[in-house]
Amino acid sequence: MQQVGPYVSDYGLEHHGIRNIRVAHWNYSTAGLVEDAIRRQEVALAQGGPLVARTGHHTGRSPNDKFIAKEPSSEGNIDWGKVNKPIQQANFDSLHQRMLAYLQGRDIYVQDCYAGADPDYRLKVRVITEHAWHNLFARNMFIQPHPSELKDFTPDFTVIQAPGFQAIPEQDGTNSEVFVIVDFSKRLVLIGGTSYAGEIKKSVFSYLNYLLPERGVLPMHCSANIGPRGDTAIFFGLSGTGKTTLSADSSRTLIGDDEHGWGPNGVFNFEGGCYAKVIKLSPEAEPEIYATTRRFGTILENVVMDPNTRILDLDDASLTENTRASYPLDFIPNASASGVGGHPENIIMLTADAFGVLPPISQLTPEQAMYHFLSGYTARVAGTEKGVTEPQATFSTCFGAPFMPRHPSVYAKMLGELMTKHKAKCWLVNTGWSGGGYGVGSRMKIAYTRAMVRAALDGRLGQVEFVADPNFGLLVPQACPDVPADVLTPKSTWTDKAAYDAAAQDVARRFEKNFEQFTPYVDDKVKAACIRSA
């Protein structure tokens, strides 16, 4: 086996059962990985320097193909069900051995990195990939050790990713040829049959979500930033709610855009990069993120490019609505060098309500915060997915259900305890529709949302009058700098007031129906905070 690269670890591939590889490329730099990815015709080079990658049929995660190996050490801690589906350890072992056989005689790429900016809680991750561009993705997304730490780098867990290797469903117990499987006892993730790079990122996140609660750290699907006076804020939200956009505020220092831990030392980023949606990205509204799509080292997934001029068209969704950019965190001008912050003073929970009934900003009591954290509400709009003809409510508990191996109540309890201990305020921010639902009203102006979030974080909203929303019980501010007063109360923006009342009651009932699954796990105060529909 030939091993090349600037930093080859003494903890070699034989420890992973990998043998007879043609060439193992270790810890290549960004330039080296870009060079190899282009030479191997894995990607194309766009004007300005970013790489453009096509992921084929799979342009997003494959949640139905995600499994957890059922084994004694973790079996009792997993919230088994539609999200955390079991697979027999024998099936995992069989896939693992066949994947190792598949890799023989091929080139592979190895990237050793950290997950977790807090030195007290960081984990060593080894990502082994079939293609150079996926290894660059890992290099972008995780934290780079100092070169002196790579010689004896011994991973705490490993990801092996081979898009060209496919499962045999009837033999392996999978749903398709695609598989994303973790075995917690072996500290190993296997990914095959898909080129979508996000599976690498999210498999590491899922691993941390299982491991860190036992170490007293709450893992969170959120972004985080720090204000001029040193105040930390975290932003929960599902895809499309504005989590990345709102946290990349030029007036605040960005800790990270997607995955963090909240532990004894405060908040810390799990990652060293960002993975932002870029469909219809605006250079005026989102200048920091837009600029990254023109930089060397960025990977653009499924972004359309003119084959002759190599000019990008970020508005073209012909391949997918889920176009993505992967780039190092320091591509954002105001990014934190340390990736850590203090205990948050403010928590923002983002939703994109396509029904147009939730207030654009409201303050939550601690009990309401727990209710909305467990609910994890947003809404999909018509036209974004086949068969979706009207807005659909989506509930993803903890704002990240697909990545939470333990029962949601574990994470919710930790959040409640941390909020109480550190006296954090919580705000629900609706970045969705105003003046009517999707197709009638319009999307909330990002300038208004930014103004409301800034007023919440700097304390100005704490000085105004609040009125309880009659449908949801949320405390709604009656004034906000740089935002028209009528925008703050959703019913006032609707022409048809009766239609608003009907839509609000419908959404409230959806909340109640979804929350029934959590009532056995929460105390009476949280139950009392539940929405009461008429």
pLDDT, greater one: 251 or 86: 86
For range 359-369, the mean pLDDT: 94
CATH number, residue 500: 3.90.228.20
Q: Which of 134, 221, 343, 450 is catalytic?
A: 221
Q: Which domain holds residue 136?
A: 2-41+62-215
Determine the angle formed by the axes of helices 366-375 and 408-422, rounding to 10 degrees. 150
Among residues 157, 192, 215, the one where a domain terminates is 215
Q: What is the pLDDT of residues 153-179, one digit of tens each?
A: 999 999 999 999 999 999 999 999 999
Q: Which of 131, 202, 372, 380 is catalytic?
A: 202
Q: What is the pLDDT of residues 201-226, one digit of tens each?
A: 999 999 999 999 999 999 999 999 99
323 is catalytic: no
pLDDT at position 388: 46
How long, in residues, is the chain? 534
Give CA–CA dist 497/356, Å, rounded: 12
469 is catalytic: no
172 is catalytic: no
What's the per-residue H, E or C state across 174-235?
Answer: CCCCCEEEEECCCCEEEEECCCCCHHHHHHHHHHHHHHHHHHCCEEEEEEEEECCCCCEEEE
The answer on pLDDT for 533 being more than 60 is no
Give the three-state DSSP class for 321: coil
**Environment class of residue 291 by beta-carbon count within 10 Å: exposed (0-12), middle (13-18) or buried (19+)?**
middle
pLDDT at position 386: 43
Q: Which of 58, 324, 380, 406 is catalytic?
A: 324
Q: What's the first-to-final CA gap in the chain, in angstroms?
A: 70
For range 382-404, the mean pLDDT: 75
493 is catalytic: no
Q: Which of 70, 243, 252, 260 is catalytic?
A: 243
Residue 354 lies in a domain: yes
Cβ contacts of 82 within 8 Å, gap of 6 or more: none
Residue 302 lies in a domain: no
Among residues 215, 239, 255, the one where a domain terminates is 215
Looking at the fold, whether 166 and 18 belong to one and the same domain comes out as: yes
pLDDT band at 532 (very low <50, low <70, confident <90, very high): low
Mean pLDDT value across the chain:
94
- How many domains are contained in the chain? 2
Among residues 190, 215, 240, the one where a domain terminates is 215
Tokens of 415: 């959040």
239 is catalytic: yes
310 is catalytic: no
Q: Which of 59, 232, 244, 298 is catalytic?
A: 244
Q: What is the DSSP string of 2-30?
A: EEESS---SS-GGGGT--S-SEEEES--H
pTM of the model: 0.93
Looking at the fold, whether 209 and 352 belong to one and the same domain comes out as: no
221 is catalytic: yes
343 is catalytic: no
Q: What is the pLDDT of residues 257-314, one digit of tens each?
A: 999 999 999 999 999 999 999 999 999 888 999 999 999 999 999 999 999 999 999 9
